[in-house]
Amino acid sequence: MPKQIKQRDLTEVLSSEQKKYFPSKTIIKNANVPDYEKTLKKAARNPEKFWEEAAQDVHWFKKWDKLIDKSKKPFYKWFVGGKCNLAYNALDRHIEGENKNKLAIIWEDETGKTKKYTYFELYEEVNKMANALRGIGIKKGDRVAIYMPNIPEIAISMLACAKIGAMHSVVYAGFSSGALEGRIKDARAKILITADGSFRRGKIIDLKKIVDGAVKNCKTIKKVIVAKNNGAKIKFNKRRDIWFHDFVKGQSTEAKTAQMNAEDPAFVLYTSGTTSKPKGIIHVHGGYAVGVLRTIKWVFDLKGDEIFWCTADPGWITGHSYIIYGPLMAGVTTVMYEGVPDVPTPDRIWKVVEKYKVNVLYTAPTLIRAMMRYGAKWPRKHKMKSLRILGSVGEPINPEAWKWFYNHVGKRRCPIMDTWWQTETGMNMITPLPSAPLKAGSACKPFPGIIADVVDKKGKRVPAGKGGYLIIKNQWPSMIRTIFNNPKRYLKTYWSQVKGAYFAGDVAFRDKDGYFWIQGRTDDVLKIAGHRIGTAEVESAFVAHKAVVEAGAIGVPDELRGEVIKAFIILKKGIKGTEKLQKDLKMIVRKNLGPIAVIKEIEFVEKLPKTRSGKIMRRVLKAKELGLPLGDTSSLV
């Protein structure tokens, strides 16, 4: 059990206003799930039956023989004996029905360029890509690395992999060469799909250069497929690289969809943990499809004709589940926007909502806070009448941001779904539904069919208002199956803390109404602008610099990003801690991890607080930095 719960989290810290329910106007009465409490109660009586019913929404080539196999727990299996395909559910099934000519993707980038694909057009592009991949020998179970901006080709590539049963491994295109290289190597990916570049605030980002830096050290990569996105001048390795459009040229627009076992892995997605090595989270075709489809339909009240905009990046699980697979499985139109939300003016984001008549806007607290800074006058220019439901994800949403989002974006008409979940859970886990009464800043209650709890070190439930560890006590279809090539780490990370329960790594408390308030991570994982980064990853990047002996990194509060990094560095004897060195050190982290690892401050120190076994006690650093009580220091040397 992690030793420490942050002090401030031990007792209820809600203001009296927060305790109250928000005005009942937020309740949507004709929602897909009209009676919130009744639905929760019914599902709680038999969660497995709930998920079995949910699975009826998914297309199966062959129905399962057994709903859930617990014989090798916690390596749970769902829908055993069933045959299905994630891409079939996202695309093929729509082609036979009324969605064929409906828009599947609306894409726009920062520069104003747009593209649209109907389900049928997307289907044909995916088929061409699937054939081309098969043509170079990509088979079931092979890993395909994808490092691309938020452009339609990333959806096409992911769906093509799923269609032929290859596993995609998408790496967020904000990661640097070093991070990309590590992930390619761990997955032993055979090919890499990328793009020439992307734009950020008008600046061209040379993605291909980052890719070249990574791939030169990756022996497993046989081909690099490059989508033309911004036409930037790039280096081309004639033997290894091929343009995306040349790769698919002349391929048939029909392709066979692989009939996968429900438990066959669909993809691996790397995420940060407490060691410097990221974990490859495995999700499977059957259960993932069931969990994502049921949650997107219920949480966002989708009826089939919606325009759905999730502002995340496909490189994270939010993008996998709620930009690509979820909206497409639900047969709605998904908006993909590549770039920043405030270019050329701070109301770009609201303009996109109006232009495409977005019905559901699913975004992150850090973005809301950034928009708040520009002031309410920007959303005020836009009526955004199409909006029906808002969503938030990635980190706790502070009540101020919640209210601003509610008042100025939703115009006091749209309920906010604050969805707590993780890369590992695959789908929304603790979240309101549109028929639930809301509280500003609370993720409400567990989704139907999910049993969550807040417990102490011994696994005993703590009383309402007391902080504790968030656990999930039952199984759900879209749960992580294992860590790629590392089942031991899977057991240790999630199943060794509280007997028989999934350990989420978050601190939370429940209030008297049973509402969950998520407080943040208990472990050495940071959330910087909603991006997940391990302090150990940051430290090992610092230590790669020749002047550094040792480094300790902690998260410190930041008004905009939630959290940023403060680092304590021990230098080699005789080396002076100059400003120039501080700059170099910031650069090396940027080079090894990418710009998402935002460093606020570097402090040169002589010593770091350590345990007798030599582990850096980051919580002591943190307590000192923030002026908090030191807590238990019995193991401190």
* Rg of the chain on CA atoms, in Å: 24
39/423 with CB nearer ligand WT7: 423
Interface residue with ligand WT7, options 127, 251, 271, 493 (CB under 6 A)? 271
71 contacts: CB under 8 Å, gap ≥ 6: none
What is the four-CA torsion angle of 75, 79, 82, 86, rounded to 10 degrees? -80
60/421 with CB nearer ligand WT7: 421
Note the helical H segments in 549-635: 579-592, 618-626
Least distance CB 472 / ligand WT7 (angstroms)? 12
Helix (H), strand (E) at residue 68: strand 66-69
Distance between CA 48 and CA 35 in Å, rounded? 20
Least distance CB 419 / ligand WT7 (angstroms)? 5
With contact defined as beta carbons under 8 Å apart, do 46 and 39 qualify? no
With contact defined as beta carbons under 8 Å apart, do 338 and 107 qualify? yes
| DSSP state for residue 58 in the 8-state scheme | S
Least distance CB 506 / ligand WT7 (angstroms)? 5
Instruction: Determine, following the binding rule CB under 6 A, whether residue 532 of this chain makes contact with ligand WT7.
Output: yes
Least distance CB 393 / ligand WT7 (angstroms)? 5
Instruction: Determine, following the binding rule CB under 6 A, whether residue 263 of this chain makes contact with ligand WT7.
Output: no
Distance between CA 69 and CA 527 in Å, rounded? 34
229/419 with CB nearer ligand WT7: 419
82/449 with CB nearer ligand WT7: 449
Instruction: Determine, following the binding rule CB under 6 A, whether residue 229 of this chain makes contact with ligand WT7.
Output: no
Return the range that interacts with ligand WT7 (CB under 6 A); candidates 27-35, 230-238, 413-421, 459-467: 413-421
157/419 with CB nearer ligand WT7: 419
Instruction: Determine, following the binding rule CB under 6 A, whether residue 443 of this chain makes contact with ligand WT7.
Output: yes
Interface residue with ligand WT7, options 291, 505, 562, 594 (CB under 6 A)? 505
Distance of CA 473 to CAs 4, 453, 494, Å?
Answer: 22, 7, 12
Distance between CA 511 and CA 429 in Å, rounded? 18
Instruction: Determine, following the binding rule CB under 6 A, whether residue 518 of this chain makes contact with ligand WT7.
Output: yes
Query: Within 10 A of 93 (CB to CB), how many other CB atoms are there?
Result: 18
Instruction: Determine, following the binding rule CB under 6 A, whether residue 503 of this chain makes contact with ligand WT7.
Output: no
Least distance CB 93 / ligand WT7 (angstroms)? 26
Note the helical H segments in 431-560: 487-495, 535-543
Instruction: Determine, following the binding rule CB under 6 A, whether residue 18 of this chain makes contact with ligand WT7.
Output: no
Interface residue with ligand WT7, options 54, 299, 393, 471 (CB under 6 A)? 393
Least distance CB 115 / ligand WT7 (angstroms)? 26
Return the range that interacts with ligand WT7 (CB under 6 A); candidates 78-86, 108-116, 294-302, 387-395: 387-395
Instruction: Determine, following the binding rule CB under 6 A, whether residue 441 of this chain makes contact with ligand WT7.
Output: no
**Token digits for 462?**
């703590």
Interface residue with ligand WT7, options 52, 124, 153, 395 (CB under 6 A)? 395
Instruction: Determine, following the binding rule CB under 6 A, whether residue 183 of this chain makes contact with ligand WT7.
Output: no
Distance between CA 335 and CA 400 in Å, rounded? 27
Residues β-bridged to residue 241: 224
125/186 with CB nearer ligand WT7: 186
Distance between CA 349 and CA 340 in Å, rounded? 9
Residues β-bridged to residue 135: none
Return the range that interacts with ligand WT7 (CB under 6 A); candidates 145-153, 498-506, 541-549, 599-607: 498-506
Instruction: Determine, following the binding rule CB under 6 A, whether residue 450 of this chain makes contact with ligand WT7.
Output: no
Residues β-bridged to residue 510: 516
Instruction: Determine, following the binding rule CB under 6 A, whether residue 396 of this chain makes contact with ligand WT7.
Output: yes
324/504 with CB nearer ligand WT7: 504
Instruction: Determine, following the binding rule CB under 6 A, whether residue 446 of this chain makes contact with ligand WT7.
Output: no
Task: Concatenate the DSSP letters of all residues of 292-360 into one string.
Answer: HHHHHHHHTT--SS-EEEE-S-TTSHHHIIIIIIHHHHTT-EEEEEES-TTSSSTTHHHHHHHHTT-SE
Instruction: Determine, following the binding rule CB under 6 A, whether residue 419 of this chain makes contact with ligand WT7.
Output: yes
Least distance CB 549 / ligand WT7 (angstroms)? 31
Interface residue with ligand WT7, options 168, 183, 348, 527 (CB under 6 A)? 527
Instruction: Determine, following the binding rule CB under 6 A, whether residue 418 of this chain makes contact with ligand WT7.
Output: yes
Query: Within 10 A of 342 (CB to CB), how many other CB atoms are there?
Result: 18
Residues in binding contact with ligand WT7, number by CB under 6 A: 21
Instruction: Determine, following the binding rule CB under 6 A, whether residue 279 of this chain makes contact with ligand WT7.
Output: no
Instruction: Determine, following the binding rule CB under 6 A, whether residue 442 of this chain makes contact with ligand WT7.
Output: no
167/393 with CB nearer ligand WT7: 393
597 contacts: CB under 8 Å, gap ≥ 6: 528, 533, 537, 538, 541, 565, 589, 590
Instruction: Determine, following the binding rule CB under 6 A, whether residue 187 of this chain makes contact with ligand WT7.
Output: no
Query: Within 10 A of 375 (CB to CB), how many other CB atoms are there?
Result: 11
Least distance CB 272 / ligand WT7 (angstroms)? 8
336 contacts: CB under 8 Å, gap ≥ 6: 105, 106, 107, 108, 150, 151, 152, 155, 314, 323
Instruction: Determine, following the binding rule CB under 6 A, whether residue 313 of this chain makes contact with ligand WT7.
Output: no
Instruction: Determine, following the binding rule CB under 6 A, whether residue 110 of this chain makes contact with ligand WT7.
Output: no
Return the range that interacts with ligand WT7 (CB under 6 A); candidates 159-167, 289-297, 388-396, 556-564: 388-396
Interface residue with ligand WT7, options 253, 422, 486, 582 (CB under 6 A)? 422
Instruction: Determine, following the binding rule CB under 6 A, whether residue 433 of this chain makes contact with ligand WT7.
Output: no
Task: Concatenate the DSSP letters of all residues of 499-532 into one string.
Answer: TTSEEEEEEEEE-TTS-EEEEEESSSEEEETTEE
Instruction: Determine, following the binding rule CB under 6 A, whether residue 5 of this chain makes contact with ligand WT7.
Output: no
128/183 with CB nearer ligand WT7: 183
**At which residue do the structure tokens 């890499």 appear?**
192
- Which residues make up the interface to ligand WT7 (CB under 6 A)? 271, 317-318, 393-396, 418-423, 443, 504-506, 518, 521, 527, 532
